Amino acid sequence: MSFRKVNIIIWVLAVVLFLLVLHHNFLSLSSLLRNEVSDSGILGLQPVDLVADVRQHPVHGGQEEIPVVIAASEDRLGGTIAAINSIHHNTRSNVIFYIVTLNSTADHLRSWLNSVSLKSIRYKIVNFDTKLLEGKVKEDPDQGESMKPLTFARFYLPVLVPSAKKAIYMDDDVIVQGDILALYNTPLKPGHAAAFSEDCDSTSTKVIIRGAGNQYNYIGYLDYKKERIRKLSMKASTCSFNPGVFVANLTEWKRQNVTNQLEKWMKLNVEEGLYSRTLAGSITTPPLLIVFYQQHSTIDPMWNVRHLGSSAGKRYSPQFVKAAKLLHWNGHFKPWGRAASYADVWEKWYIPDPTGKFSLIRRHMDTSNIK
């Protein structure tokens, strides 16, 4: 074999080796972008601003930090404060609250958090940029919630809590009576990015399931007349779940690009109207039901005892309410307003607004005697 042929063979092998290395690096980069950037970098030019409000108070050494994400809208701010207060006073764990709000509410929220009763909590105030929702939310006068951007904050957990591997999300109309550590320790199955309380199996639903119609099934949230929904092959009778309280594995959430998936279905709904016209619950529920279909774990049902904000909640006994780990006033009747069930239980955790902007609406009504 001539010297020239040997050189050509060596050159060809070198080129092949170079192309293999280049291909490997490209795949590694693609994987990195898919798994690490899709959610954590989804907000582009930093529209979410972390305000340095972390209080430095002694915590038990070596304890894992428990991130709790909760929204704080101006008209429901008293609910957020009561929820935070109840969590803080029922645990000795290292909890840090990520309180998601709008710029216009931040100063009011901060002044309330400076109350003597809340001095020892640790928190960050996170500004939510409403531009995130452009083209993803269809304003519907019949669905007032669609006008409230903070209800979608739960879709962006990896951005709101960028350094955490796990987090708890909860609505502002809850009271926690158990140790939040127990909820945080909810086991999630491999490959599951979140754990919810299923409607059909929940302890609270069993009390009131009779006559509930479709409000506990997928068909109560999604329009099965639409071809795009039918193509998903999801059984209409599948039990729905409540997204007002859940535990998230943020590592898995980012790996599966959950935020991107949720945004995809939000956009498709704007274009095609995929949600049920008689939506059984929150407008945030349909995309979550699609993305997490048969791919979520469950939390202890006593950690989301709900329907206290509907007439059905009045069917609960005082003993049952006392035993609940978390009480949830989902529905039209909030505990800071009129006619909500067991509003006196909620009020034990409420701290009056030092600015006087937020006040309870009360009328003479019978109260429960829970001791």
Q: What is the pLDDT of residues 221-270, one digit of tens each?
A: 999 999 999 999 999 999 999 999 999 999 999 999 999 999 999 999 99
Domains and CATH numbers, the chain: 66-204+220-348 (3.90.550.10)
Query: 116 to each of 42, 120, 243, 276, 294, how far by Cα in Å?
Result: 38, 8, 32, 46, 45
pLDDT at 338: 82
Residue 45, pLDDT > 60, answer no
pLDDT at 39: 38
pLDDT at 214: 53
Per-residue b/e over 192-206, b at no fewer than 16 CB within 10 Å? Answer: bbbbbbbbeebbbbe
Quick one: pLDDT band at residue 121, thresholds 50, 70, 90?
very high
pLDDT at 27: 41
Say if CB 168 and CB 183 are below 8 A apart. yes
Give the amino acid at 293. Answer: Y
- For 49, the enclosing helix (H) or strand (E) is strand 49-51
Q: Which of 320, 259, 309 is nearest to 284 (CA)?
A: 259
Length of the chain: 371
pTM as predicted: 0.82
pLDDT in tens, 308-344: 998 766 789 999 999 999 999 998 899 999 888 999 9
Quick one: pLDDT band at residue 47, thresholds 50, 70, 90?
very low
How many CA atoms, within 13 angstroms, populate the side-chain half-sphere of residue 198? Answer: 13
Strand order in the sheet with 65-71: 49-51, 123-127, 94-101, 65-71, 166-170, 241-249, 194-198, 297-298
Average pLDDT value for the chain:
83
Residue 144, pLDDT > 70, answer no
Provide mean pLDDT across the span 53-61: 51
Provide mean pLDDT across the span 172-196: 98
Residue 123, pLDDT > 80, answer yes
Q: What is the 3-state secondary structure (H, E, C) of 1-46?
A: CCHHHHHHHHHHHHHHHHHHHHHHHHHHHHHHHHHHHCCCCCCCCC
Say if CB 62 and CB 87 are below 8 A apart. no
Rounded to an integer, what distance in angstroms lies between the CA atom of residue 154 and that of residue 142?
22
| Portion of the chain with pLDDT greater than 70, in percent | 74
Quick one: pLDDT band at residue 362, thresholds 50, 70, 90?
confident
Quick one: pLDDT band at residue 277, thresholds 50, 70, 90?
confident
